[in-house]
Every structure is written in structure tokens, then in C-alpha cells.
Structure 1
């Protein structure tokens, strides 16, 4: 699969991009660096200046917010199937002055299944995540979770009426793979010093997750 920053160039989205003041290749490369490495916007401003490209860090931020949704749409059409044994958990992400919740699942091999940023950590949020993940990836055979009552209640609700219910496991050590994956995501967002608002957080986290998924594909 092509690198994430090249996928947009061969898609139908290119014809929709008008009045760009920088080469598209430069914009996509800068966006990819932001979501792929532990870099701040000012780091990228300096790196571009060293290459003879004068661009303000606020412009880089606008590029990320504008182009990540296009990349997300392009990648969604090419996402490879994931395994049917999922490890699901949620982690904390600071948005403004408040903590929000990033729901995530990986398969047994550590490949990202899906992700969803939510304002609350409860049964409704977990149900929303599972419905989205199943809609995009098909039903899992098994889901491993921690001792969260909300996650358990969400899975039991989804199982209601199913002829073949999803097997639910609450085994903490089996969830180490998704907890380690949380750390990788947090390492990338640390230089960002939190997110301005919920919309920016959702878009930037999507870019990070999509890059991680793309990197795991041969």
C-alpha cells in the first residue's frame, strides 16, 4: 500500500483542491510528518524553513485540519480486513481543559481495528464505538475487555437477540497489546500539548490512527 501522504494524490479528491499556495506534495508530506512523528507545529515550521519553505505553524495546523479528513476517506476504501479476536480499551485525552475518552480496539496481532473519541466514558459511548467498529470491520468472534462495567454492558446489549453472540472475555493481561498501543499514540500527541477543541482532536487523532494502520500494512 502507498504511504498515507501519497494516497490523496491518486484519488479523485485532487481535482477538488483549488487555490493552494504551496505544492500539494509539500502539504501532504508536512501533514504526514505531523501525524507520524513526535513533532510540534513549531518543529515543522522550523524543518520547512531549513528546506527553504517559509510556512507559519498556524498554516501547518490548517493543513492538518483540512487534509486529514480527505486522507481518512481515501484510506477507508483501502483498509485491509482485521482479525476476529479484538482487544478493546479506552484511554484519556485532554481536549481544552477537560479529559475526553479515546475508545480503541486492536486485533490479536496488534493491528488497529477502529477508534472513536467520545465526550463521556459510559455504556452509550462503548455501544457507539462497537457499532461503528462492527459496521466497518464486520463482527468479531471474541472481544477482550478490562473490568469496565460500561464496556461489558455495551457488549451484552449488542449480544441480545443474536443467534451467535460475541464471546466476551475480561482478562486484563490479554489486553496488554492494546494498552501498549495506547502508549504509542500518547507518545505522538505529547508534543501537541493537548487539543484546542473536540473537532480538532477528532481530526488529528484520526490522522495519527490512520497513519498507524497504514504503516502496519505491507
Structure 2
């Protein structure tokens, strides 16, 4: 997992659809070596996971997360977040033209999406390193995007066979 997940993600990057212009961003918490760490995630309005970042620090990670997420395609017109204090400063610096929405219940889309990551991590015996949390979070997002059809991989296959067809195409690319 640690070795091949980044290789698969890099091989699939040219086939990835560009994210839409409405983003939902939030952080969740994951235990790594017995300590709570932050996992920042962003999805677009169609459910495509844009980026994942695991960090031990909250405010510095928000800035780093948005810098990385903005490298994945076009800039969003609207960003929906919770009411965390770090977001307005970072969004004013990096996305001054974007509309920032922090209304109550507006962020339910990303909150529901966190549940899939947590359900994947629950049966595991825990994470020992921050790098493991980053790789597993990125790998989970990659597979989730493949299943939802956000890559031009396995598009000719039946929906229940899309993941196997996509990995077959990726194996030929590597």
C-alpha cells in the first residue's frame, strides 16, 4: 500500500477529470500512534475528491492544503467550509475572488463523505505514522474517484467492473 499507491495515483493523474468550480472543504480527525491528527479533504459538487492532507497542526495545514488543492485544476468560484477560524484568512489570501460559504448545514456533503473514509479506517488496527495516514487517505480518495467515474479509466466497463478495468489499464501504463 505504502509503495504502490503513490505510483498508481501518479499514473492515473493524466486521466483525471478537472474538478468543478464549487468545492466543499472540511477537516476530520484520525488517530495516528495514539494521537489525534487532522485530515483535510475537499470534494467538488459532483463528489470528486480533490485532495487529501494529513497533518498534526491545524492552522498551518489549512494553508498548505489549499496550496496543494489549487494545483489540481481550475480555481473554485465558491468554497463551502465549516466555521473554523483558519479558513477565512487562508481563503482571502489564496482565493480572494471566491465566495466563501459557511452557513449552517451547507457542509453536509463533505461531512457525509468523511464517513466513507472513517468506515475504511475503522476495521484497521490503527495507523502508526503520519505518512501512513496520508497515503491511505489519498489511496481511498483515488479508489473512490475511480468508482464514481471521475477518471477516464474503465469507462467502457459495466459499473460493477469499472474498478477492475481501471486497475488493468493502470497496470499497462506502469
* Secondary structure in 2 matching 1:77: helix
Contact kept, 8 Å, 1:145 with 1:172, in 2: the verdict is no
Q: Which residue of 2 aligns with 1:147?
A: 83
Superposition deviation, residue 207 in structure 1: 1.1
Contact kept, 8 Å, 1:113 with 1:137, in 2: the verdict is no
Contact kept, 8 Å, 1:86 with 1:108, in 2: the verdict is yes
Q: Which residue of 2 aligns with 1:108?
A: 45
Q: Which residue of 2 aligns with 1:91?
A: 28
Superposition deviation, residue 172 in structure 1: 2.8
Q: Which residue of 2 aligns with 1:203?
A: 135
Contact kept, 8 Å, 2:18 with 2:72, in 1: the verdict is no
* Secondary structure in 1 matching 2:75: coil
Distance (Å, rounded) in 1 between the aligned partners of 2:125 and 2:57: 21
Superposition deviation, residue 193 in structure 1: 2.6
* Secondary structure in 2 matching 1:88: strand
* Secondary structure in 2 matching 1:65: coil
Unaligned runs of 5+ in 1: 1-63
Distance (Å, rounded) in 1 between the aligned partners of 2:137 and 2:51: 12
Distance (Å, rounded) in 2 between the aligned partners of 1:209 and 1:169: 24
Matched, 1:166 2:102: no
Matched, 1:119 2:56: yes
Q: Give the root-mean-square deviation of aligned CA atoms.
A: 1.3
Distance (Å, rounded) in 2 between the aligned partners of 1:113 and 1:129: 11
TM-score by length of 1: 0.66
Q: Which residue of 1 aligns with 2:158?
A: none
Distance (Å, rounded) in 2 between the aligned partners of 1:191 and 1:129: 27
Where do 4+ consecutive residues of structure 1 move more than 2 Å? none
Which of the two has greater helix per residue? Answer: 1
* Secondary structure in 2 matching 1:191: coil
TM-score by length of 2: 0.81
The number of equivalent residue pairs is: 150
Distance (Å, rounded) in 1 between the aligned partners of 2:99 and 2:62: 16
Distance (Å, rounded) in 1 between the aligned partners of 2:49 and 2:138: 12
Distance (Å, rounded) in 2 between the aligned partners of 1:145 and 1:189: 23
Contact kept, 8 Å, 1:93 with 1:100, in 2: the verdict is yes
Distance (Å, rounded) in 1 between the aligned partners of 2:38 and 2:44: 20
